[in-house]
Amino acid sequence: MSNGTTKIRLKIGGLEIEYEGKESFLQDELFNTVKKALTLYAENKELIPAEPAAQAGAGRAAPLGGFDHSTNTIAAHLGVSTGSDLVIAAAAHLALVKGKDKFTRKEINDEMKGATTYYKTSMSANLSKSLETLVKGKRLNQVAMNNYSLSASERQSLEAKLAGQH
């Protein structure tokens, strides 16, 4: 293996571990990490919910068919290459995973920053332009000052794109 960046996701029941970083970690530490995760799961199985979707609170939409990816993972599935693309990935995470019908500009920006593989600081500086473009393109709705939601057609499109990805 080279010393490049790699990603791994391990899911055991309701326990999920996602790693992104140097390949050397996988070479040197993967076995020990998996062993510890399996031991932790076996010892605490009754404390770990079997399905995160079952834990969704009242008034919140359950994650799409058990869909519970990070913004970074959604961005990868959508092939994000621009700031506007990352805004949509962040909005998808807020709407489809967190079950929020509307979200603030700050929440979108925070989700974007969490997608470390795709986020560039210039994207925050250009957030107003990206939001304006997405509202004009009918991909986002501006429901109030600095409050947005996915348009019905964009939500449907994202659900279709992401449904086959988990």
pLDDT of residue 65: 46
Average model confidence (pLDDT) across the chain = 80
Task: Please check whether residues 155 and 127 belong to one and the same domain.
Answer: yes
Task: Please check whether residues 33 and 98 belong to one and the same domain.
Answer: no
Structure-model confidence comparison of residues 159 and 138, the more confident one:
138
Task: Please check whether residues 106 and 129 belong to one and the same domain.
Answer: yes
Task: Please check whether residues 43 and 113 belong to one and the same domain.
Answer: no
pLDDT of residue 75: 92
pTM for the predicted model, two decimal places: 0.62
On whether residue 18 sits in a domain, the answer given is: yes
Task: Please check whether residues 68 and 26 belong to one and the same domain.
Answer: no
Task: Please check whether residues 77 and 130 belong to one and the same domain.
Answer: yes
Report how far residue 53's alpha carbon sits from residue 64's, in angstroms, rounded to the nearest whole number. 8
Report how far residue 116's alpha carbon sits from residue 20's, in angstroms, rounded to the nearest whole number. 10
Mark out the alpha helices in 45-115 (DSSP H runs). 71-78, 83-92, 105-114
Task: Please check whether residues 80 and 45 belong to one and the same domain.
Answer: no
Domain of residue 99, CATH code:
1.10.10
How many domains does the structure of the chain reveal?
A: 2
Structure-model confidence comparison of residues 55 and 140, the more confident one:
140
pLDDT of residue 6: 72
Report how far residue 109's alpha carbon sits from residue 116's, in angstroms, rounded to the nearest whole number. 12
Write the pLDDT tens digit of every residue in 57-67: 444 444 444 56
pLDDT beyond 90 at 153: yes
Task: Please check whether residues 71 and 32 belong to one and the same domain.
Answer: no
Task: Please check whether residues 33 and 87 belong to one and the same domain.
Answer: no
Nearest alpha-carbon partner for 87 in 145, 160, 139: 139
Q: Do 162 and 96 meet the contact criterion of CB atoms below 8 Å apart?
A: yes
On whether residue 59 sits in a domain, the answer given is: no
Write the pLDDT tens digit of every residue in 24-51: 776 777 778 777 877 877 777 666 555 4
Write the pLDDT tens digit of every residue in 69-121: 889 999 998 999 999 999 999 999 999 999 899 999 999 999 999 999 999 99
Structure tokens at 147: 């409050």
- Give 138's pLDDT tier (boundaries 50, 70, 90): very high
Report how far residue 32's alpha carbon sits from residue 27's, in angstroms, rounded to the nearest whole number. 11
Q: Which structural domain range is residue 140 located in? A: 64-163
